[in-house]
Structure 1
């Protein structure tokens, strides 16, 4: 699919985490298909395997917390994983190259699930990027982020340990776009709803208040057949707007600091 801009290769990229998710109509006996899925994923380089028990809040006439199982297939370095449950599949990575490569990996996951478990309908697709922006000595957030995202500073308010948040939402031709900016009060790298990720991260530890999380979340709801190729086309559409959101959130100086290098689309 055509890009609006050539892909950016950032030698000092702030990107720490990327997630693509498909929520589908439940396959209640998914556990029967896991051995075959695991064998196929193992042959595709996902040699690690964990069966993980979690709890989730179920919204029924009487909301309750119920257990559910996740099956996690990870690469040797534990920097990329496919997470499967009865009603969703996720591809997550902490070593992102560019979207063309990510889509190839997404095709492996989706085509495997489609062939083995045969889910019927996809109800939601989501694509999410998490960047950690940490100014160096003598730098400030204004060197990295556009003025519209900065808000008031702790110095301006005379406050200590100021935690700021920004959120913008809007509809696009591809779905719903949500852009969030937050300054954690602890040393977390991911938003709270992503804490369950078990990937290995290479980002050094950072002190609270010295970095900001830029969270670009783009999703679409509906009813789509669980067929890999058309679903990947929709992910390309989501990526187009996620890419725009990032480029319009950061400054030209930030791209220089991160050593941005345009990459031809034919490369």
Structure 2
């Protein structure tokens, strides 16, 4: 996942920065939209997301706890004309997602550009969490049997060890990794049918690239998710450095899950 591959398996990538809350986000919408439009994101939408506010019980702890309060959270969305990339701006987070991934450098620069625009408009004070996540579609040319050529045995599940007459609907493996710089969650999902998304990640407003829409059969999704948590003064250079650390952690996990055969196939 380091150098650009001719047939890279990445079909979705997302980066997110969580920051101090901006409760009057809507009052900055016009300024943010004007700047986003000028840098290639003219498609603007407003929306809301639902969030649970867990209200702590203060005072007498013998009394029943207050039930969770469902709140509507304002969301500003900015997309490219072809809907292959876009920013989601919320009161306490900014996300950049794309289905046309090029290289990490161009992806990170675009994320920092959007984050810089929001910072110019609202003056963010600190960051609290930086995250980076990739979804890769593993589709060997010779079908299901080829998965063993593309993925290491540790993430293939039990399919190869079961009798041929046994039908396996899906297989799921997950490994939690902690490095000196970040935490990485590496998952592999093997399933049949069209290419989709993990249940906890539903992209908003972006279209899957045409070459991935034709996938319909047994395939694997390699899902690598890295994050760094901790409150830091808001500095774009520092956030970009954290992104590089996350990319390194994801690369380590990805390289441990795929084979040299797969890497060679994606490069040609």
CA RMSD of aligned residues (A): 1.9
In structure 1, distance between residues paired with 2:23 and 2:246:
29
**Rg (Cα) greater in structure:** 2
Q: Structure 1 residues 205, 132: CA separation in 2 closer, same or farther (over 3 Å shift)?
A: same
In structure 2, distance between residues paired with 1:136 and 1:65:
47
Deviation at 1:184, TM superposition (A): 4.2
Q: Structure 1 residues 235, 11: CA separation in 2 closer, same or farther (over 3 Å shift)?
A: same
- Within a 5 Å distance, the mapping from 1:173-192 to structure 2 comes to 173-184=180-191, 187-192=194-199
- Within a 5 Å distance, the mapping from 1:26-37 to structure 2 comes to 26-37=21-32
Q: Are 2:11 and 1:16 equivalent residues in the alignment?
A: yes
- Within a 5 Å distance, the mapping from 1:190-209 to structure 2 comes to 190-202=197-209, 203-207=212-216
Paired residue total: 254
Q: Are 2:149 and 1:143 equivalent residues in the alignment?
A: yes
Q: Structure 1 residues 52, 159: CA separation in 2 closer, same or farther (over 3 Å shift)?
A: farther
Deviation at 1:29, TM superposition (A): 0.4
3-state SS, counterpart of residue 118 of structure 2: helix
Q: Structure 1 residues 106, 167: CA separation in 2 closer, same or farther (over 3 Å shift)?
A: same
Q: Are 2:103 and 1:98 equivalent residues in the alignment?
A: yes
Unaligned runs of 5+ in 2: 57-66
Partner of residue 51, structure 2: 56
In structure 1, distance between residues paired with 2:53 and 2:221:
29
In structure 1, distance between residues paired with 2:223 and 2:107:
18
Q: Structure 1 residues 169, 242: CA separation in 2 closer, same or farther (over 3 Å shift)?
A: same
